[in-house]
Amino acid sequence: MPALENAPATATDNILLTQTRIIRAPRAKVYDAWTNPEIMEQWFGSPMMYCSSASLDVRVGGSYRIEAIRKEATTVSAQDICDGRPFNAVTGEYTKVIPNALLQFTWIAAWAPEEKSLVTVSLKDAPGGTELTVLHERFASETSRDAHNNGWCHALENIARVVAG
């Protein structure tokens, strides 16, 4: 699936990952999980982190901020926030929004602020529910891609559980 954002190609455009899952829920419910902060807070994260807050202005040009805290952390100091431990945040801007079908947004992680990648979430009807595809591209390195691949794997397992439950 090609990028939808109109931007000049760079040397890292070919470093990408794609994950697809069949979610046992209607497209509108899966879309809502990506656009409703209260639902996103239930699924976004990894086994080591939980989503502590999500702020989503879901419209072209709107921004988002998703914050996660390490599960064993009890407090977050200003030093932790600056260093990215045990607190992490992802921010970006929506570049394409088609309700119940597609979301595209830039992705800037606090742990790698120099890397601005692009995420495209596509939803299609599928037997038994919704086909959810996440295309994440424009990584600065294969190492970054591989780390994100693990994160998306856990996030998609979580979203499937939350929206089907």
Ranges of each domain in the chain: 16-164
Residue 91, both tokens = 């921010």
| Architecture label for domain 16-164 | 2-Layer Sandwich (3.30)
Quick one: pLDDT at residue 6? Answer: 53
Positive/negative CA dihedral, 21, 40, 121, 16: negative
Quick one: pLDDT at residue 161? Answer: 95
Quick one: pLDDT at residue 73? Answer: 54
Quick one: pLDDT at residue 4? Answer: 52
Per-residue pLDDT of the chain (165 residues; tens, 9 = 90+): 444 555 544 545 589 999 999 999 999 999 999 999 999 999 998 777 888 999 999 999 999 999 988 877 555 444 344 344 456 899 999 999 999 999 999 999 998 899 999 999 999 999 999 999 999 999 999 999 998 998 899 999 999 999 997
Name every residue whose Cβ is closer than 8 Å to that of residue 100 and which is 6 or more positions away in sequence: 27, 28, 31, 123
Quick one: pLDDT at residue 84? Answer: 43
**Which phi and psi angles does 28 have, rounded to 5°?**
-60, -35
Q: What is the 3-state secondary structure (H, E, C) of the chain?
A: CCCCCCCCCCCCCCCEEEEEEEECCCHHHHHHHHHCHHHHHHHCCCCCEEEEEEEECCCCCCEEEEEEEECCCCCCCHHHHHHCCCEEEEEEEEEEEECCCEEEEEEEECCCCCCEEEEEEEEEEECCEEEEEEEEECCCCHHHHHHHHHHHHHHHHHHHHHHHC
Quick one: pLDDT at residue 111? Answer: 86
Residue type, 33: A
Quick one: pLDDT at residue 85? Answer: 47
